């Protein structure tokens, strides 16, 4: 078997040829949105370096500027936030940007890059789910990379990883919301106390099991004893 670095080099070379890139895509970033039923819209960006996940560069985003489920506007927001930050911090741009989705998502990413004067400086593609079609900006028709090719597998790995990361962040947010709303139903617990308790104990069950001292350290003694009383019913 070939050593890993050699194999990864070969796959990147294949991807470079398939996408007609000018340089080896050693640093790739991939974006995905997750808004199950439009609640808690979040998004993710995953980073691969030399063909492998580089987890310390993964990023999670809360969608800030978009009302309701709008994948295109959300994609535009996160791509813009990511690269305006990269510009501000003087970090290096990726060799390739991948967005999960077809023409609409890709156009949104392109609009974001244009607004930062980055369009044309870094290649960007969209990968559409059903038929694994690869879209390029300005091209009406997608290209298909051979189903079994290693370069398509790498793109799928990126896309699936971005998807997994977005979904797990989304679930986290949703469970936080559920827990904080059940805490808010307790008498004398407002938003601030609920968030403090959530940060410290992570779940209602753990709050129920906490000692008076542990709870008092977070919300004060009177409130702590009232919470414990209500939760023990």
Per-residue pLDDT of the chain (233 residues; tens, 9 = 90+): 555 667 888 999 999 999 999 999 999 999 988 765 556 678 889 999 999 999 999 998 888 887 766 788 889 999 999 999 999 999 999 999 999 988 889 999 999 999 999 999 999 999 987 668 898 998 888 888 888 888 899 999 999 898 888 887 767 766 666 666 677 787 888 878 888 887 888 777 888 888 888 888 888 888 888 888 888 77
Residues 6 or more apart in contact with residue 213 via CB below 8 angstroms = none
Q: What is the pLDDT of residue 90?
A: 92
Distance between CA atoms of residues 132 and 141, nearest Å: 13
Does this model's pTM top 0.85? no
pLDDT at 39: 62
Per residue, the 3-state secondary structure of the chain, as one string, reads CCCHHHHHHHHHHHHHHHHCCCCCCCEEEEEEEECHHHCCCEEEEEEEECCEECHHHCEEEECCCCCCCCHHHHHHHHHHHHHHHHHHHCCCCCCEEEEECCHHHHHHHHHHHHHCCCECCECEEEEECCCCEEECCCCCCCEECCCCCHHHHHHHHHHHHHHHHHHHHHHHHHHHHHHHHHHHCCCCCCHHHHHHHHHHHCCHHHHHHCCHHHHHHHHCHHHHHHHHHHHCC
pLDDT at 27: 96
């Amino acid at each position: 078997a070939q050593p890993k670095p050699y194999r990864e080099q070969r796959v990147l070379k294949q991807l470079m040829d398939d996408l007609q890139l000018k340089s080896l895509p050693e640093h790739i970033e991939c974006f995905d949105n997750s808004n199950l039923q439009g609640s808690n819209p979040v998004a993710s960006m995953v980073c691969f370096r030399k063909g492998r996940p580089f987890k310390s560069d993964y990023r999670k985003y809360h969608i800030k500027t978009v009302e309701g489920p709008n994948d295109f506007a959300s994609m535009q927001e996160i791509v813009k936030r990511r690269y305006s930050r990269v510009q501000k911090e003087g970090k290096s741009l990726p060799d390739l940007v991948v967005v999960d989705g077809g023409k609409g998502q890709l156009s949104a990413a392109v609009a974001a890059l244009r607004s930062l004067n980055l369009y044309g400086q870094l290649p960007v593609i969209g990968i559409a789910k059903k038929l694994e079609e690869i879209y390029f900006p300005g091209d009406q028709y997608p290209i298909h990379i051979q189903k079994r090719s290693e370069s398509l597998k790498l793109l799928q790995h990126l896309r699936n990883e971005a998807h997994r990361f977005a979904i797990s962040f989304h679930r986290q947010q949703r469970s936080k919301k559920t827990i904080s709303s059940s805490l808010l139903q307790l008498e004398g617990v407002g938003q601030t106390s609920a968030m403090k308790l959530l940060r410290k104990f992570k779940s209602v069950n753990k709050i129920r099991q906490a000692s008076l001292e542990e709870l008092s350290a977070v919300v004060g003694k009177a409130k702590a004893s009232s919470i414990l009383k209500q939760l023990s019913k």
